[in-house]
Structure 1
Amino acid sequence: MNIGIDMMGGDYAPSEAVKGIALYLNDDSKTCLIYCIGNEAEIQPLLDSCGIAGDPRIKVVHAPQAIGYNEHPTKALKEKPDSSIGIGFHLLSTGKIQAFISAGNTGAMLVGAMYTIKTVEGVLRPTIPTLVPKLNGTNGLLLDVGLNADCKPEQLNQFAILGSAYASNVLQIDNPKIALLNVGAEAEKGNLLCQATYPLLKDNEAINFVGNIESRDLFKDQADVIVCDGFTGNIVLKMAESIYEIAAERQLENDAFLSRFHYENYGGTPILGIDKPVIIGHGISNDRAFSNMIIQAEQMIASDFCAKIKSIFKA
């Protein structure tokens, strides 16, 4: 199992990525080969300082260029083929690695995923989810959370299929319950998008649709996968992030429930609907976040998630 990491992506690159790899490799049972893609002159001393320079599970791939946060994604990928993101996608597309992780330029990661790796045949639009902590200690899934601000009912219907597959294969949730985020529980409630999406989800035999869910019930156990357009989902995501910030300000961040809102617990966001596993991390990702992103990539590879998505949409 080979996993590539963009070592130059993130506010604290490459130090936190190296620390995250060290944290991951603390478990001697881990056998993944980690491709560290970035400036070797910067990476090697950090590997030495963390005591993992000679670990056979690490391979450094030199990338002399890096894509900054403010660069235009498409232009940067075209003009910087030797960037850590560019080389990462090349390794992924040629099969040298089986998953690619970055906390760098989100736009470049999305462009690379959609145009270098390609969308699974039959998928109208890829989507990005986020994990939602539930009061009972488990996690749910919310999608889309920002990739598709404007959606059609057919796209939301596919998001439900993608989310259901991720919940069952990666999160190991048996027969996940799917719900549509709406302003009321009744089938006729909501805007035109929700009203048109509801019957599609209800008639979709590939999912376990349980109806509408209101935002006040988001953290309860009424649904495992909650579907919405990316505009709505991103607002919910930012609100959830603010909950942890408020908890931290009030010194409540160690609360059993509120602590689970911290981004580092989940690592990153997978792009669902593309041919191979690609995970995008938060720009402020720390060592724990990077370690969890590697574990997340490992789970996606082990479950053969992308192949199962291809099979679902082929059928």
Structure 2
Amino acid sequence: MKIGLDMMGGDFAPLEAVKGLQLFLSSQEEAPANVFLFGDEAQVRPLLEEHQVPLDRVTVVHTPQVIGMHEHPTKALKEKQQSSITVGFHFLASGKIDAFISAGNTGAMLVGACYSLKSIEGVLRPTISTIIPKEDGKTGLLLDVGLNADCKPENLNQFALLGSLYAKHILGIEQPRVGLINIGEEEGKGNILAQATYPLLKENNQINFVGNVEGRDVFIDSADVMVCEGFTGNIILKLAESLYDITQRKSIEHEYFDRFNFENYGGTPVLGINKPVIIGHGISHAKAFKNMLSLSSKMINSNLFEQMQQAFAPSALS
């Protein structure tokens, strides 16, 4: 197993990436054979030595260029061929690594994931999701959360299937319940998109559809996988993130609100492509990098991608 890590992505790179790498390697009983580190070798190597990262467990790939957080994604990927993100995707596409992680330019990561790698055959659009902490201690999944601001009903139907497979094989939810984010519980509620999506989800025998879920249901145990277009999903995501920020500013301590700390989950995977690509928050610290590495390891070791390929095969969809 070979995991690629962008050492230059994020506001606190490369220090926090190194610290997260050290936490990950020290926590693994059977660590991956190699972690490929893409970044400026002059900056990365002294930090590896300082934080006692075992050098026999990593391979440093020198990349002298960095794609800044505010650069145009497509232009930067094209013009900066020696950047950590560009080279990382080249290694992933060519099979030199099995997964790629970055807390750098989100747009560049999304463009790289969609154009450097092939989507799973049958998938119309890849999607991104976020973990939703439930009040009763369980975990939910919300998608899309920003990659697809405008969608067709067929897209949401596919997101439901992708989310169900991820919830089952990565989150360990045996029979995930799928809910459609809407403004009412009754069938026929909502805008044109929601009204057209409902019957598709209802007829989809590959998922466990439980109907509409409202905003008040997001944080309670009404559904395990909640589906919407990226515009709505991103608003819910940012609202959820603000809950944790507010509790920190007001010194409110509660185990439930602590679960809204994004660092507990590391980053979000791009679902619908053939290999694990995980995108982290720009303000990621060591804990987030450690958890992104753990998630990538879990995705590589699972049969998630084989299950997705089978689910979208023509014979499964007919």
TM-score, scaled to structure 2: 0.97
Secondary structure of the residue aligned to 1:26 is: helix
State the SS of the aligned residue for 2:271.
coil
3-state secondary structure, aligned to 2:68: coil
Query: Which whole-Å deviations, capped at 9, do the CAs of 1:82-132 have from their partners, x for residues lacking one?
Result: 110011001101111100000001111111111111211111111000000
1:74 aligns with 2:79: no
Counterpart residue number, 1:309: 308
Deviation string 1:254-306 (CA, Å, 9 cap, x unpaired) is 31100000110000010000111100000000000000000110111111322
1:38 corresponds to: 39
| 2-structure distance, mates of 1:265, 1:108 | 24
Q: Please tell me whether residue 220 in structure 1 is matched to residue 198 in structure 2.
A: no
Which residue identity lines up with residue 288 of structure 2 in the other structure? A
C-alpha distance 55-30 of structure 1, shift in aligned 2 (>3 A): farther
AA aligned to 2:84 is: S
Q: Which amino acid aligns with 2:211?
A: G
1:39 corresponds to which letter in structure 2?
D
Which position in structure 1 is the counterpart of 2:135? 135
1:197-248 CA-partner distances (Å, limit 9, x unpaired): 0000000000000000011111111110000010000000010011111111
1:296 maps to what in 2?
295
CA deviations over 1:108-158 (Å, ceiling 9, x no partner): 111111111121111111100000001111210000000001110000000
What does residue range 148-159 of structure 1 map to in structure 2 within 5 Å? Answer: 148-159=148-159
Q: How do residues 1-315 of structure 1 correspond to structure 2 at under 5 angstroms?
A: 1-32=1-32, 33-52=34-53, 54-252=54-252, 254-314=253-313, 315=316
Alignment-mate amino acid for residue 142 of structure 1: L
Residue aligned with 2:56, SS: coil
Residue type of the alignment partner of 1:40: E
Letter in 1 for 2:152: K
Q: What is the distance in 2 between the residues matched to 1:304 and 1:89?
A: 22
SS of the equivalent of 2:244 reads: helix
Paired with 1:250 and 1:85, the residues of 2 have a C-alpha distance of 37
Q: Distance in 2 between matches of 1:8 and 1:16?
A: 10
Change over 3 Å in CA distance of 1:248–1:179 after alignment to 2 = same
**1:81 shift after superposition:** 1.2
What is the alpha-carbon distance in structure 1 between the residues aligned to residue 30 and residue 37 of structure 2? 16
Percent identity over paired residues: 59
Q: RMSD over aligned Cα, in angstroms? A: 0.9
Distance in 1 (alpha carbons) for counterparts of 2:30 and 2:14 = 22
CA distance in 1, matches of 2:306, 2:277: 14
In structure 2, C-alpha distance between the alignment counterparts of 1:238 and 1:28, rounded to whole Å: 32
- Equivalents in 2 of 1:307, 1:43: separation in Å? 35
C-alpha separation between the residues in 2 aligned to 1:66 and 1:308? Answer: 35
Q: Which amino acid aligns with 1:67?
A: I
Specify every segment of 5 or more residues in structure 2 that has no aligned partner in the other structure, as ranges: none
Q: Distance in 2 between matches of 1:221 and 1:62?
A: 47
Displacement of 1:28 in angstroms is 4.5
Bigger Cα displacement from structure 2, 56-65 vs 259-268: 56-65
Letter matched to residue 271 of structure 1: V
